[in-house]
Amino acid sequence: MMSFWSNQRVVVTGGAGFLGSFVVDQLRAKGCTEIVIPRSRDYDLVQMDAVQQLYRDAQPDLVIHLAARVGGIGANQANPGRFFYDNLMMGTQLIEVGRQRGLKKFVALGTICAYPKFAPIPFKEDDIWNGYPEETNAPYGLAKKMMLAQSQAYRDQYGFNSIVLFPVNLYGPRDNFDLQTSHVIPALIRKCVSAKEEGRTAMTLWGDGSPTREFLYVEDAAEGIVLAAEQYNGNLPVNLGTGEEIAIRDLAAVIAAEVGFAGQIQWDATKPNGQPRRCLDVSRAKQLFGFQAKHGLREGVKKTVRWFQANSQSIREVHF
């Protein structure tokens, strides 16, 4: 696949962020030398004129759209309007201007939050429209899902080559560890480390611990995205994940043990749980472009905890 990437000029929106930085690493490892990473201070992708300017400046052959306004349950509850509008406008405008300019390929990253709240387990791509998403993150999930509708419509009418991937919750080194905006694994790691360092005998977490989640290590996610960009050119949505689910209470125990926090874990059931269960059918990704995750949860958590402990003075925090 060296020849594929050696001739491509690639824009990676969100390329300086958590997932994007690993996608850029993968692209460089595969021989891609022309990578453009737009920064929000230079290109506000919510604004159409900035999107047009990016295409004029970068002249891409391929766009991998990873930029998103995203966070955990608390951030989604605090910013439903902003999360809906910003994510909708970024995706819609990047695809439209790409079509206008004859872009060779557009790779869009959706979200597991797009799935219906009570979708059958495991989530199959064919069920993605069969119900309304879980309420706490529905605006974000629906905004990202619109890229699938636009992608399929543009392929039908214009022959525009775009694909849409739907990953589960990601985690790993370089993640956002801000307690107000982060997802569950980085938040749990930071809380457990703080509780241990402060010598506390108990720690309180949101919800009742019963929901299940599936998690994908960030390096595996990057590999899946790059594989799809190389090899997949169809109109079907494709899940990216491991196909394995774990209850949040069990996840908390795994992280606490890895960190070395031996205190009691208490649950605040007045706080929302989010979606009851999340687990993906990941067979389509394996069938269409040979993707299969390499990291099990415990291995990935171990690597993430070690990274956090080594970089705790310079961790990434995202504020809205």
How is 66-118 classified by DSSP, letter by letter? -------HHHHHH-HHHHHHHHHHHHHHHHHHHHHTT-SEEEEE--GGGSBTT
Condensed to tens digits (0 to 9), the pLDDT of residues 183-237 reads 899 999 999 999 999 999 999 998 999 999 999 999 999 999 999 999 999 999 9
* Residue 181 belongs to some domain of the structure: no
* Residue 208 belongs to some domain of the structure: no
Q: Looking at residue 146, what is its pLDDT?
A: 98
Report the run of H or E that residue 36 belongs to, with start and end: strand 34-36
* Residue 193 belongs to some domain of the structure: no
Mean pLDDT of the chain: 94
Strand, coil or helix: 247: strand
Range of the domain at 114: 2-175+215-243+277-294
Label residue 31 exposed, middle or buried (CB < 10 Å: 0-12, 13-18, 19+): middle
Select from 59, 107, 98, 62 the least CA-distant residue to 222. Answer: 107
Condensed to tens digits (0 to 9), the pLDDT of residues 59-111 reads 999 999 999 997 777 778 899 999 999 999 999 999 999 999 999 999 999 99
Q: Which of 176-185, 235-244, 286-295 has the lowest mean pLDDT?
A: 176-185
Q: Looking at residue 100, what is its pLDDT?
A: 98
pLDDT tier, 178 (very low <50, low <70, confident <90, very high otherwise) = confident
Cα separation of 58 and 39, whole Å? Answer: 12
Tokens representing residue 211 in the block: 């929901």
Q: Stretch 29-54: mean pLDDT, rounded?
A: 97
* Residue 22 belongs to some domain of the structure: yes
pLDDT exceeding 70 applies to what percent of the chain? 98
Whether the pLDDT of residue 2 is over 90: the answer is: no
**122 cis-preceded (ω within 30 degrees of 0):** yes
Q: Stretch 152-163: mean pLDDT, rounded?
A: 98
* Residue 231 belongs to some domain of the structure: yes
Tokens representing residue 219 in the block: 């390096």
* Residue 93 belongs to some domain of the structure: yes
Q: Stretch 24-53: mean pLDDT, rounded?
A: 97
Q: Stretch 34-39: mean pLDDT, rounded?
A: 98
Instruction: Give the count of domains, the chain.
Output: 1
Strand, coil or helix: 293: coil
Q: Stretch 164-190: mean pLDDT, rounded?
A: 92
Check 43, 140, 171, 232 and give the catalytic one. Answer: 140
* Residue 209 belongs to some domain of the structure: no
Say which residues have a Cβ less than 8 Å from residue 27's Cβ, sequence separation at least 6. 5, 10, 12, 35, 226
- Asked whether the beta carbons of 90 and 146 are under 8 A apart, the reply is no
* Annotation marks residue 85 as catalytic: no
Q: Stretch 24-45: mean pLDDT, rounded?
A: 97
Packing angle between helix 248-259 and helix 184-197, nearest 10 degrees?
40
Q: Looking at residue 1, what is its pLDDT?
A: 46
Q: Stretch 157-161: mean pLDDT, rounded?
A: 98
Q: Looking at residue 142, what is its pLDDT?
A: 97
- The CATH number of whichever domain residue 65 belongs to comes to 3.40.50.720
Q: Looking at residue 316, what is its pLDDT?
A: 67
* Residue 203 belongs to some domain of the structure: no
